[in-house]
Amino acid sequence: MQNNRKPNNRRGIWVLLLLAGVWSCKNRNETQTAAQSAVYPTITVHAGEAVIESTYPVVLQGQQDIEIRPRIDGFIEAIYIDEGARVREGQSLFKINSPQAEEAVTNAVASVSTAKAQVSTAKLNVDRMRPLAEKGIISEVQLQTLQNTYEAVVAAQVQAEAALKNARATEGWATVTSPVNGVVGTIPFRQGSLVNNTNILTTIANTHAIYAYFSLNEKDLMALLAHLDGKTRQEKIEQLPEVTLFLADHSEYAVKGKIETISGVVNTSTGSASLRAVFPNPDGVLWSGTSGRIVIPHPVSGIFLIPQKATFALQDKTFVYKVEGDSVVQKVITVEALPDGVHYAVTGGLNEGDRIVTDDIATLADGKRITPQKD
């Protein structure tokens, strides 16, 4: 009887083990199915409008940056201004001590005196001989010769006076004045320095308005002008929106600027065109020679707005998880950042009515089953 019971006990144990395995497998499948069907927030994308901003580095220059050079050779006798000072048009900047200019004036004065004496002598000769010629004592030829001499010395006097005027004008160049209102740059030469017209004494920057120079490649330039009204390039430029300037410390300049010009030629070596924007600078906040960033807004339509957190980057590409049925697939998209720093404008890769996952994408994988939470 004991032998008959042992096989039954063995069969019972095997049945229990089989049931336990089935239960464990079923429990594991249910757990896996539940995990695969987790709920994720989603949105359906629809076309809309947005403002995309493009940023470019700029170099700032004064409306006029004028190099101040001496027009005569000599020693700097006096400096009337200091670096960074504001000057007016016509204000004296430097005094040049030029012995050559002084000598030229002295010689010119002497030449004028000599010419005047010669004119006086020649006139006396003509006046003295004319009565004799009228009486036939001397010939008309002799009188005409004296008259010609007189006219020659008169002409010489005019030349001498012109030379004196020119010498005095040159001597006046000894005082170097500002041609415009502006701000004084660096002054590399000091009192006593020997200078000539090849030396730059300083630079006067007219910063009442500041020019911001930057470059766009051919593709960006065409995109910038494509949506603007107007037939000619100038008409399109006039339709460009106001631009924003950010300074080197990342602060935003309070006054908006306007793009005024676009170079007529694309640089063949860089493939870019040069643009110039102007910013009013009534308080002198902007300095010539500094740098910054310019932001150009681009109103666009027919694009999709999605949260940045709905995307992830892989190998320089941007992806989203698109919902297809009860699972998700990775989708490559092209995007532009928006000023709010929270959303992207999708310019390619999605279609009207597509549904994407908007959160917890780090837990997703291509082909994973989910339960979409409708927006």
Reported as a single tens digit per residue, the pLDDT across 178-218 is 998 889 999 999 999 999 999 999 999 888 899 999 999 88
215 and 280 belong to one structural domain: yes
Q: Is the pLDDT of residue 358 over 80?
A: yes
Is 97 within 8 Å of 195 (Cβ atoms)? no
Is 272 within 8 Å of 216 (Cβ atoms)? yes
Interior angle at CA 107, CA 106 and CA 112, nearest 5:
100
The CATH code of the domain that includes 219 is: 2.40.30.170
pLDDT in tens, 152-166: 999 999 999 999 999
Residue 23: predicted pLDDT: 47
Residue 34: predicted pLDDT: 46
Q: Is the pLDDT of residue 352 over 60?
A: yes
Is 11 a domain residue? no
The CATH code of the domain that includes 314 is: 2.40.420.20
Count of domains observed in the chain: 4
* Domain end marker among 297, 324, 347: 297
Q: Is the pLDDT of residue 65 over 60?
A: yes
Residue 37: predicted pLDDT: 66
Who has greater pLDDT, 92 or 27? 92
Can you tell me whether residue 9 is helix, strand or coil? helix
Task: Kindly indicate the confidence band of residue 35, based on its pLDDT and cuts at 50, 70 and 90.
Answer: very low
pLDDT in tens, 264-296: 788 888 889 999 999 999 888 898 889 999 999
215 and 292 belong to one structural domain: yes
Q: Which of 335, 332, 355 is nearest to 345 (CA)?
A: 335
Residue 11: predicted pLDDT: 56
119 and 187 belong to one structural domain: no
Range picked from 65-79, 222-236, 330-344 for highest mean pLDDT: 65-79
Percentage of the chain modeled with pLDDT above 70:
90
281 and 247 belong to one structural domain: yes
Pairing of strands 92-97, 327-337: unpaired
Is 245 a domain residue? yes
358 and 284 belong to one structural domain: no
368 and 260 belong to one structural domain: no
213 and 263 belong to one structural domain: yes
Rounded CA-CA distance 134/123 in Å is: 17
DSSP 121-156: HHHHHHHHHHHHHHTTSS-HHHHHHHHHHHHHHHHH
Task: Kindly indicate the confidence band of residue 12, based on its pLDDT and cuts at 50, 70 and 90.
Answer: low
Can you tell me whether residue 10 is helix, strand or coil? helix
The CATH code of the domain that includes 191 is: 2.40.50.100
Q: What is the mean pLDDT of residues 120-146?
A: 87
Is 33 a domain residue? no
Is 365 a domain residue? yes
Is 3 a domain residue? no
Q: Which of 362, 296, 295, 299 is nearest to 328 (CA)?
A: 362
151 and 244 belong to one structural domain: no
The CATH code of the domain that includes 103 is: 1.10.287.470
| Backbone torsions φ then ψ of 20, nearest 5 degrees | -65, -40
Backbone CA torsion sign across 27, 33, 34, 36: positive
pLDDT in tens, 294-347: 999 888 888 899 999 999 998 889 999 999 988 999 999 999 888 788 889 998
Q: Which long-range contacts (CB under 8 A, 24 or more apart) does 215-223 make?
A: 215/56, 215/267, 215/270, 215/272, 215/273, 215/274, 215/275, 216/56, 216/272, 216/273, 216/275, 217/270, 217/271, 217/272, 218/266, 218/271, 218/272, 218/273, 220/54, 221/262, 221/266, 221/272, 221/273, 223/298
Is 4 a domain residue? no
Q: Is the pLDDT of residue 355 over 90?
A: yes
Is 9 a domain residue? no
Residue 111: predicted pLDDT: 93
Domain that holds residue 149: 99-172
150 and 84 belong to one structural domain: no
Output the pTM of the full model.
0.62
291 and 323 belong to one structural domain: no
Residue 2: predicted pLDDT: 46
Q: What is the mean pLDDT of residues 167-175?
A: 90
Q: What is the mean pLDDT of residues 243-254?
A: 94
What letter represents residue 152's amino acid?
Answer: A
162 and 263 belong to one structural domain: no
Rounded CA-CA distance 295/348 in Å is: 23
214 and 260 belong to one structural domain: yes
* Domain end marker among 255, 278, 297: 297
Is 31 a domain residue? no
Q: Which of 347, 259, 275, 338 is nearest to 304 (CA)?
A: 347
* Domain end marker among 267, 297, 327: 297
Rounded CA-CA distance 62/290 in Å is: 10
Residue 311: predicted pLDDT: 95
Q: What is the mean pLDDT of residues 20-29?
A: 49
Q: Is the pLDDT of residue 1 over 50?
A: no
Pairing of strands 39-44, 371-373: parallel
Q: Is the pLDDT of residue 13 over 70?
A: no
